[in-house]
């Protein structure tokens, strides 16, 4: 049974609240999540005591973004093991919670393999649970390290592509510390440019329908003190036409072996705009987001979300993952096309920045080299 409890954290500034953390109170281990469905209006933590609660948190987008989903998945396995639940059953449920971000499966499988290895070697369930937790903690730590390295590589690439600084960067969805053990992916690059005095402005797409840009990226940008401006997704075209965008920086949920990039819906139109306006379109993602088992863009499963996310709007808390209940903005019974992601073909991607180096041009061979560790740092 899902056991999820939400509580508001009083007297703590949100920047002190990590997106995810493992705790071991006397009542037993828990996974504590910053509930991203409530931001920026409320900073509320969600406490999961079992895997079904975490599955629900993933589906409702309380915890979201590819790298963080990987970390959450690994902790979910550790939680099931530590609480004495069936680990393989939990792993199946966690992996199936959302289909597109490959990091979720990668994280789950890593903790599950660590757990299984101990049992296979004759260890007891307690030792196996400890191994699963160690795997999750390692993944969490590695993601923070990867984030810092991506920021460094991304900044160097911006220096190369846009000499002179003063960058005006457009971003989509949310890719900062809310999706990472560190400072994120694309947002971490913008943050590094900001700290070096090289970011003139971060253009933040609101990211319909669930407003990850408006609710989360604007929240992170405001806290970091960078100059940022929020725009509706549809305003991006006129912004490019006005010559106001120097580069697009986005994250990724899955990168196929041919270099096709699945990311939040609305990314592909930005890539088309960027190509038309001769602006670099840069994807920033950890190596774990590259999936050699997905041959091409057409093979990426794109999550379809419920129609009420488009047909209803609520004031403070957007109707994320719930049963709707917002103000209707479309006639009752309207059919909705609501894919959570779209796929950008590799020929529209200027570069993929990873912690292991930069891939440009984006080709299947260059990605294969990256995965076999041959890309120069
Ligand atoms: O549906 P979400 O909010 O999980 O989608 C997240 C994104 O599309 C991010 O851009 C992607 O996961 C990259 S995060 C570094």
Query: Which pLDDT band, with edges at 50, 70 and 90, does 313 fall under?
Result: confident
DSSP 318: -
Residue 325 has pLDDT above 90, yes or no: no
341 C-alpha to center of ligand 1: Å? 9
Nearest ligand 1 atom to alpha carbon 341 = 8
Q: Tell me how far CA of residue 166 lies from CA of 91, 146, 158, 263, in angstroms.
A: 46, 25, 10, 26
We find that the CATH architecture of domain 20-143 is Up-down Bundle (1.20)
C-alpha 333: how far from chain center: 32
Residue 69 Cα: closest atom of ligand 1: 4
C-beta of residue 175 within 8 angstroms of C-beta of residue 217: yes
Smallest Cα–Cα separation from 320: which of 234, 180, 211, 207?
A: 211
Q: Which residue has the higher pLDDT, 15 or 231?
A: 231
Give this complex's ipTM: 0.98
Q: Give me the mean pLDDT over the 199-224 stretch.
A: 96
Query: Ligand 1: which residues within 6 Å by Cβ?
Result: 61, 64-67, 101, 173, 175, 179, 184-185, 212, 251-253, 263-264, 340
Cα(128) to centroid(ligand 1), Å: 31
Domain ranges of the chain: 20-143, 164-375
CA 169 / ligand 1 centre spacing (Å): 18
Write down the mean pLDDT value for the chain.
93
Report pLDDT for 326: 80
Query: Is 196 assigned a ligand-binding role in the annotation?
Result: no
pLDDT of residue 321: 46
Q: Of 35, 50, 143, 253, which one is the catalytic site residue?
A: 253
Question: What is the C-alpha separation between 146 and 256, in angstroms, rounded?
Answer: 20
Q: Is 84 exposed, middle or buried (0-12, 13-18, 19+ CB in 10 A)?
A: exposed
The band of 197, judged by pLDDT with boundaries at 50, 70 and 90, is very high
Has this prediction a pTM greater than 0.90? Answer: yes
Same fold, 20-143 and 164-375: no
Question: Annotated catalytic, 253?
Answer: yes
Mean pLDDT, range 343-348, rounded to an integer: 98
For residue 264, the cross-strand partners are 341
pLDDT digits (tens, 9 = 90+) for 4-42: 665 544 434 445 689 999 999 999 999 999 999 999 989
First and final CA of the chain: distance in angstroms?
46
**Sole residue written with tokens 């990873």:** 354
Contact 241, 271 (CB under 8 A): no
Report the candidate in 46, 78, 53, 74 with the shortest Cα–Cα distance to residue 1: 53
- Note the pLDDT tens digit of each residue in 346-356: 999 999 999 99
The CATH code for residues 164-375 is 3.40.50.10470
The answer to whether 66 is annotated as binding is yes
- How far is Cα 319 from Cα 77, in angstroms, rounded to an integer? 28
- Ligand 1: which atom is nearest the Cα of residue 64? 4
pLDDT of residue 4: 64
User: Per residue in 86-127, pLDDT tens?
Assistant: 999 999 999 999 999 999 999 999 999 999 999 999 999 999
228 contact partners, CB below 8 Å, separation of at least 6: 201, 202, 203, 204, 217, 218, 221, 222
| Better-predicted residue by pLDDT, 321 or 219 | 219
User: Which residue lies with its CA nearest to atom 9 of ligand 1?
Assistant: 65
Nearest to 367 by CA among 316, 292, 293: 292
Distance (angstroms) between ligand 1 centre and the Cα of 238 equals 24
């Amino acid at each position: 049974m899902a056991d999820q409890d939400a509580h508001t954290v009083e007297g703590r500034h949100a920047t002190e609240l990590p997106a995810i953390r493992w705790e071991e109170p006397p009542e037993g281990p828990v996974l504590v999540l910053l509930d991203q469905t409530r931001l920026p209006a409320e900073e509320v933590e969600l406490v999961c005591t079992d895997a079904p609660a975490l599955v629900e948190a993933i589906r409702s987008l309380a915890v979201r973004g590819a790298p963080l989903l990987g970390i959450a998945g690994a902790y979910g396995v550790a939680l099931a093991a530590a609480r004495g639940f069936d680990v393989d059953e939990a792993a199946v449920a966690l992996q199936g919670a959302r289909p597109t971000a490959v990091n979720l499966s990668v994280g789950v499988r890593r903790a599950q393999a660590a757990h299984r290895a101990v049992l296979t070697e004759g260890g007891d369930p307690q030792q196996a649970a400890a191994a699963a937790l160690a795997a999750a903690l390692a993944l969490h730590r590695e993601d923070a390290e990867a984030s810092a390295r991506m920021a460094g590589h991304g900044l160097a690439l911006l220096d190369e592509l846009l000499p002179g600084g003063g960058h005006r960067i457009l971003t989509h969805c949310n890719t900062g510390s809310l999706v990472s053990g560190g400072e994120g992916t694309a947002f971490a690059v913008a943050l590094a440019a900001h700290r070096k005095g090289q970011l003139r402005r971060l253009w933040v797409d609101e990211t319909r329908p669930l407003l990850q840009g408006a609710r989360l990226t604007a929240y992170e940008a405001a806290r970091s003190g960078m100059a940022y401006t929020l725009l509706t997704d549809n305003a991006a075209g006129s912004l490019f036409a006005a010559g106001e965008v120097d580069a697009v920086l986005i994250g990724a949920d899955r990168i196929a072996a041919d270099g096709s990039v699945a990311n939040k819906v609305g990314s592909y139109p930005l890539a088309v705009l960027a190509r038309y306006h001769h602006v670099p379109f840069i994807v920033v993602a950890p190596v774990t987001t590259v999936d050699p088992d997905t041959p091409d863009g057409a093979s990426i499963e794109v999550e379809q979300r419920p129609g009420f996310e488009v047909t209803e709007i609520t004031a403070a808390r957007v109707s994320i993952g719930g049963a709707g209940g917002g103000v209707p903005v479309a006639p009752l019974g309207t059919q909705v096309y609501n894919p959570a992601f779209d796929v950008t073909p590799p020929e529209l991607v200027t570069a993929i920045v990873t912690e292991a180096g930069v891939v440009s041009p984006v080709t299947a061979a260059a990605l294969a080299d990256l995965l076999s560790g041959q890309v120069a740092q």
